[in-house]
Chains A and B, each alone.
Chain A
Amino acid sequence: MTEYRRAYRPADRRLVGGVATGVAGHFGVPVLYVRLAFIVATWFHGMGVIAYLLLWRFLPLRQPDLSPGLESATRRGLRTSGRPGAFEVFQTIALGAVGIGVMFMIQASGRGIAGGLFAPLLIGVIGLAVIWRQFDDAAWGRWMRQTRGLGFALRVGAGAVLVASAGIYFLSQERGWSAIVDLASAVAVAGLGLLLILGPWITKLLGDLSDERRERVRSQERADVAAHLHDSVLQTLALLQKNAGDSAVVATLARRQERELRAWLYGNDEKPGDSLVAALRASAADVEDAHRVPVEVIAVGDAALDPDVAAIAKAAREAMINAAKHARVDRVDVYAETDGRTVEVFVRDRGVGFDTDTIAEDRMGVRGSIIGRVERHGGTATIRSRPGEGTEVALSVPVRGDTNQAEPPTAPVPTEEVSP
């Protein structure tokens, strides 16, 4: 399955149409350069504007895909979202002003677009920008879809004015050698007016409602999860009351509930089979529940769970279990880093530690399920520990990318752990 990256216009960070921001994001260049390119291209027969409008039409608008907690916090004004700052706005206005200045200079020198066309084209482009911008906004989109009421009257009025002005423009022109070009531009303006009037039906026909449908499905799913979570909070509260005397049980219950809520509010709904990080988090949760030791997972980058990566995830799980069981600590740290070439996982505790020389050959926990498992997949595993100074298990496997082979057959590995 090839997933290719699609360009899109970010709904939350656009100034006009979000085209420049979207293109900059897609190619990984500063947005300033993209804006400059559009403006410079405009000096050559308006290419920049045409490209901008085309991209605007064809790049999909995308709302930021926030977790439910962040979405709600944004709605309630609890956070400042990443809208373009004042600096960016001024910078773009300044750029635009310079661009328009140069445009006029080119016009004045007589090498630009034919004089009679320039003004109507300019007005047409600005009108188009204003209208499309409003199409993009959800609230405006609804306004544009109205087929009755004040919004409808205003919109049809605006369209009618445009159609009429195109007609007047056409009639007022002397029929010269450029009549055909003029006629074409007049038709374009008239077409724009008709588009304004007929816009709602056209957009409906184009299946604009698929977004709404997707949103509805998503919110139903979320409502189900929310109901499940609230139910589990009630269960947890009941258990807490029953076990009020046992502080260890209370802490574990609270921690588990916190984890669930946090994952729902601020997580990116990942499943244990999806990726390395998801697998590590799932293991951490299991270890927390079974051994009542908080396991903190920090991850930089992520990798698909191919057999190699799955092996390192399993080894890390064993290391977490060892730490939770034997280190006698109140916290285990797990750090995973993926840079595209290697996957590294560190499992660390500040516990009692042990003498690494004393790992007996037959202690399958460390030998088989950690070191052996990783080495079979071309990786390395090192265990650093000294009595009294904690233990750190460092695991690393190379990323192969094209792995399809299963884990090499081995004798079933009993998961008995080494004693410290």
Chain B
Amino acid sequence: MTTLRVAIVDDHAMFRTGVRAEIDGPVDIVAEAEDVDSAVTVIAETRPDVVLLDVHMPGGGGLEVIRRLHLRHPDTKFLALSVSDAAEDVIGIIRAGARGYVTKNISGPELLDAINRVAQGDAVFSPRLAGFVLDAFAGTIEVAQVDEEIDRLTEREREVMRLIARGYAYKEVAKELFISIKTVETHVSSVLRKLQLSSRHELTRWANDRRLI
């Protein structure tokens, strides 16, 4: 297996240095960028496999980077990294096309694992992201205003999401539900796809509504 080529996009130089120190070697860090414009340029130039993308950045944030690059370079995978747990931003960046979300206090080995997973086309769901997703799709089973299959989670997908939110690793989810890890990954990818494709109006105004309750 060839080493993965990774780009780090973050406006905090100290954080870039820290990540580089932690993961350089097992993966090949080909580019660094500190704002949206420079990120778009270097990513288009170096074509990394995985981009570690800060959520908040000058020029419109990580969302804008994905928006500008996703169509032109569909092979480049994005993994969102953030210190903020603002649900609307996390869901927003996943909907734009990121394959996963991790917080910045993630350990080096965990980050490497997440990078590998994303590079293989799988989704990286932290417990927090699983919680946000359940929240975003909450209530759709019984309300069922929208009939489209893409607009709700199947019972199995919800189960998987709930276990991930409870802190189960994919392996543990598989064991708990008596299914293979591959099946868990399929469910997670399917949830990711629904999250990205669903035009459920709840998903767009959901962030505002959560605060209203």
Contact = CB atoms under 8 A, between A and B. Distances in A.
Contacts, number: 100
Given A73-B56, A79-B63, A300-B138, 18 more contacts: A24-B201, A69-B84, A70-B84, A76-B58, A262-B84, A265-B84, A266-B84, A296-B128, A298-B130, A299-B131, A300-B131, A300-B134, A301-B138, A333-B166, A335-B167, A337-B162, A337-B165, A348-B166
Interface in B58-102: 58-61, 63-64, 67, 83-86, 88-89, 92
Task: Please give me the 6 A-B residue pairs with the lowest Cβ-Cβ distance, nearest first.
Answer: A333-B167, A298-B131, A78-B56, A79-B61, A335-B166, A80-B63
A346 interface: yes
A240 to B, nearest CB: 16
Interface of A: 5, 10, 13, 24-25, 28-31, 64-65, 67, 69-70, 73, 76-80, 82, 258, 262, 265-266, 268, 296, 298-302, 331, 333, 335, 337, 339, 346, 348, 350, 392
Interface stretch (B14-22, B39-47, B186-194, B205-213): B205-213
A335 B88 contact: no
Nearest to A24: B201
Nearest to B209: A25
B2 interface: no
Contacts of A392: 166
Interface of B: 11, 55-61, 63-64, 67, 83-86, 88-89, 92, 105, 127-128, 130-131, 134-135, 138-139, 145, 162, 165-168, 201-202, 204-205, 207-209, 211-213
Contact of B127 (A28, A70, A78, A333): A333
Contact of A298 (B56, B57, B127, B213): B127
A5 B209 CA distance: 11
A65 to B, nearest CB: 6
Nearest to A13: B205
Contacts of A346: 166
A337 B59 CA distance: 36
Nearest to B143: A28
A69 B166 contact: no
B28 to A, nearest CB: 28
B92 A77 contact: no
B59 A300 contact: no
A67 B83 CA distance: 14
B63 A82 contact: no
